[in-house]
Each structure stands twice: as structure tokens, then as C-alpha cells.
Amino acid sequence: MTWALMLSGNQITSAGQAAANSAVDKQTMGVLWAYDAGAAVETPPAYSASRDLAIVGTADLFVHAIQNTNGTRKWRVKPCPHQPGDPSSSSANDYASYRNGWPVVADAAGVVLVKAWLDWQTLWTDWPQTNSGMRSLLNANPLEQSLFVMNLDDGTVPYVANVGHGGFGDGGYMPMGPQPVVKRLPNGKDVVYTIVRAKHAYDPRWDSHFGEMVLDSSTVSGMQGGDVRFIAYDWPPGATDPFLLTDEQPNVSMAGDHLFGGHWEAGLALRILDRSDGRGSFANKITSQRLASVVTSQDVPGACAFSPTHYCSGGLEGGRYYDWGFYIYYSQGAVYDRYWSEYAVWVVSNDNLYFRSTDGAIVALTSGNPQPASSSPSFTVEAPPAPPEESPVVAITPEEARAWVGRTVTVTGELRYVFNNGKQVLLGFARPHWGMCKVLINNEDWSAFGAPPEELYSVGQRISATGRLRWYQGDPAIVVHRPQQIVLEP
């Protein structure tokens, strides 16, 4: 069982994956109260200092507000119209979960926000560029709602949040996605920063942007609670129509006017310049200054020589181009594919920035003009094994594949998942396919099969796939280039 702890005065409030929430005395560790939630508690608790409430989300999609003094229920509501369950197990976009998220309290606004994890199909929704259009979309299609706002006093939902679903998705899987962060303005008002959507290209996967959401009708002239404002962010560098990928939405952190995004390959950073009331529309975004990026690996060595500072003033490029900033590894390629953990995050503490990359590396950045230490720490990864001889080919099950990465094998098993994401066809031996061996057929090889591969192979078939196992987003995978590598078994 996993537990999350929240400190409040002399109490620690905890939530575990059981139908209970409790508080203990920090001095004696004695139980002060226990609360029966009636379903598994899926989120860590959040604390409202203004109301002295602990707030959690449960597996049945209810949100509970608990009196921190005695553990009694203040309110219990189900803001989410979905059915409870793993969204990746449903093709109808009717399941949702709070797992891997947490309630976010905006005390000055008197609300708490809870993000839901939705199905991959929400990715393909065409999002309007205006708040009125977004609100009409969500009112007509409530299953597209992913962020819910509740009144701290009674749990009522005061308005619809114009925030669409997204995250680090691939192969029919869309995870929880970024959680909102609260910013207290100099005038005492709260706003929220997160990732928002608005279609501006032919592909809905390219419709995300850093954004601000207002929590009432008095913070920004002409706007009401739930309205969003777009923030300009110059990526890709030099783009005339910049965007963030919706199936690669970064986790959001904030300190002062600095906004940070934890992407699976890089850390993004910007400073907000002008958020005056006249800005925020899609055509007239809040302006910002793009700051240094952090990439996993600098993979264009000729453009930037290795330095003990791990800083590159130009030519910074991993799997994509970021132009300048810091790198963790030098000329190491897709480190994340072997050590994949899905999310990268920023944490701000005591004027220092800490970036945790997808592969688990921790980078600390400080203000001023830092100099490299006399003995700079070495950032290395385990060297990949030397390519083995192609024969003999070893026959294994999908469950055994992790022990054979780097070797040429034949993997035999029953297909449980077949999906075309536009870039590759994924043949999975488990559903969800994460954590298990899979077969990938890249789009440049589809013509060799004579027909779309997703039509040739189907769930329930038993296949044998032969090729060299490699890491792909933390899982062992065989990349198939020709149909002869796959045999249908009786």
C-alpha cells in the first residue's frame, strides 16, 4: 500500500490506496481521527488553510472535503460525469480516474480543482480558439471535461473549466497529464496556470499551449471563472505559429513570473512579461520570454563542445531542436527509452531549480553566474552491451523479453492490443500495453506489408515476431521492417 502525507499544524493527514483517510499527531504519532471514504482513496490529500479542510479524490470519482479538526465530512460530491475505471480499458471515452493526480486548492478564490485522467480519444477533439466556443463544446460534450472546479464551502461546481485533456500519450494511451498550479497575484487574487488547447493546425496533436485560467469574474476584465488565456511560447524556436504537442503535454511548475514545463525529453522555461487584461486571446497572447531549456542528451556534438557546466549557447539538440540551454548527457542518444518513467518535473526551492528528467537524472540549477566545480560530477549511463551475434535466435515469451534486450530473439504470444497512431503500428501482448514487450512497425515500412498492418494483425491472434530487442519508452520492443519477421501461429 502506498501512502501520502500532508502536514497541518500538529497533525499529519494521510491517504492510502484503501477506503480510509486519517490524521495522526506529529509528536506522538497517535491516531487523531479516521475517515471512511467508502472507496479507495486515489489522491494524496490537499489542505485548505482558510477552511481547515483536507480534500481527497476516491476511485468512485467522488471528491471529499474532511474537517481537519475531527475527521467529519464537510461535503462529498461527484463532479465528473464519467464512470469510474481505467480509461485505457474503454474505447468509448466513458471511464475516468483521479489516479496520479491531486487536488489543488486556491484558497483566495475559495475553490479546489481536481483533474481527471480520460481516454486517448479525447486527443482528437477539435478545440475552439475562444472561451465561448470552448464552453459550448464542453456543455454539449460533458465527457470531454477533464478539470473540475468545486466550491470549498459546499462542493458545488460554480462553472466549467475550459481546459482539455492531454498528456504524454502514445499507442492509444493517454495518461493523467499536467496538474494546475495556483498563482497568487499582487492584488490577492488567485489564478491557475496549466496547459490549454485550441486547434490551429490540421492535426489536433499540435493544439496545446501554456495558459492561465481565471477563477472568478473580477480578476480579469471581461472574463468569467473557467475562462482561459493563452501564453505565447516560442517553440519550436523561431516558429511563426508556436505550439506544444497535446500528446506530449509537459507538467507545469511556477515561481514568481517564471513558468516551467517538464516534457519527457526536455525541461522548458519561460518568464511571463505582459499579462495585462487586454491580452490572453488566441490572437493576442500573454507575452513571455523563452529561457534556457534542459535536454536529456546533446546529440549534435559538432555544434557544441562538451563543457563541465553542461551548458550549450547554440545548437542544443536532442531528439528535437531546442537551440540553447543545458544538457544532462553528451552524445548519448535516447537515454529515456531505456529508463523511461513517463514524466519529467521541475521543483523550485530556496532560489534553486531542480529538474528531474524522464530517465531519473536530477539536475540542480542556481541563480547568478555559477562556475563549474573543480571536479565536476560526471553524468554517465550504463554502456549498452556490444551487439551480439545474430544467431542462434532464442525463442522466448513476452514476459521474458526484458532479460534479452540487445539480443535477436523470437517472441511468441497472443496479441491483446493493435493500434495505429499515425507514426507506427503497435502490436501489444498486453492491454494496457505499457510494461510489456511489444512489436512496432514504423510508417515508412508499411508499404512492404501490402496492406495496412493493423488490418493484417488483430487481437486474439497468436504471432511470433523475430528481431533484435531494444528499449522503447522503458519497455522491450522489436521493430519490424518486413512482413517475413512476423509469423501467424496456429
In angstroms, what CA-CA distances link 478 with 157, 190, 410, 456, 459?
48, 49, 9, 17, 18
Q: What is the pLDDT of residue 90?
A: 67
Burial 325-361 (b: 16+ CB within 10 A, else e): bbbbbbebebbbbbbbebbbbbeeeeeebebbbbbeb
The answer, yes or no, to whether residue 73 has pLDDT greater than 60, is yes
What does the alpha-carbon distance between residue 16 and residue 31 come to, in Å, rounded to a whole number?
15
The residues that bridge with 443 in the sheet, in sequence order, are none
Instruction: For the domain made up of 394-489, give the CATH fold.
Output: OB fold (Dihydrolipoamide Acetyltransferase, E2P) (2.40.50)
Digit-coded pLDDT (tens) for 321-359? 888 899 999 999 889 888 888 789 999 998 899 999 999
Mean pLDDT, residues 57-65: 97
User: For residue 321, how many other CB atoms are within 10 A of its CB?
Assistant: 15
The answer, yes or no, to whether residue 428 has pLDDT greater than 70, is yes
Name every residue whose Cβ is closer than 8 Å to that of residue 180 and which is 6 or more positions away in sequence.
104, 113, 115, 147, 163, 192, 193, 194, 213, 252
Q: Domain boundaries in the chain?
A: 1-78, 79-291, 394-489
User: Could you tell me which of 396, 210, 382 has the C-alpha nearest to residue 285?
Assistant: 210
Mean pLDDT, residues 130-158: 97
Q: What is the pLDDT of residue 369?
A: 60
DSSP classification of residue 153: T
The domain at 1-78 falls in which architecture? Beta Barrel (2.40)
In angstroms, what CA-CA distances link 128 with 167, 448, 479?
19, 39, 37
Mean pLDDT, residues 387-410: 80
- Confidence category of residue 375, pLDDT binned at 50, 70, 90: very low
- Confidence category of residue 78, pLDDT binned at 50, 70, 90: very high
- Confidence category of residue 19, pLDDT binned at 50, 70, 90: low
Q: Which of 169-173, 361-365, 395-399 has the lowest mean pLDDT?
A: 169-173
What does the alpha-carbon distance between residue 316 and residue 314 come to, in Å, rounded to a whole number?
6
Share of the chain above pLDDT 70, in %: 90
- Global pTM reads 0.84
CB-based contact 480:465 (threshold 8 Å): yes
Alpha carbon distance, N-terminus to C-terminus of the chain: 42
Rounded to the nearest 5°, which phi and psi values hold at 139?
-70, -35
The answer, yes or no, to whether residue 372 has pLDDT greater than 80, is no
What does the alpha-carbon distance between residue 288 and residue 279 come to, in Å, rounded to a whole number?
12
The answer, yes or no, to whether residue 382 has pLDDT greater than 80, is no
The answer, yes or no, to whether residue 304 has pLDDT greater than 60, is yes
The answer, yes or no, to whether residue 275 has pLDDT greater than 60, is yes
What does the alpha-carbon distance between residue 467 and residue 64 come to, in Å, rounded to a whole number?
50
Q: Give the side-chain half-sphere CA count within 13 A for 386.
A: 2
User: Could you tell me which of 450, 436, 449, 442 has the C-alpha nearest to residue 422?
Assistant: 442
Q: What is the pLDDT of residue 7?
A: 42
Digit-coded pLDDT (tens) for 470-486? 999 889 999 999 999 99
The mean predicted confidence, pLDDT, of the chain is: 88
Digit-coded pLDDT (tens) for 215-257? 999 999 999 999 999 999 987 777 777 889 898 999 999 999 9
Residue 472: all three cell numbers together = 522503447
CB-based contact 141:222 (threshold 8 Å): no
In angstroms, what CA-CA distances link 111 with 103, 155, 157, 430?
10, 9, 9, 40
Digit-coded pLDDT (tens) for 174-204? 889 999 999 999 999 999 999 999 998 778 8
Digit-coded pLDDT (tens) for 197-218? 999 877 888 899 999 999 999 9
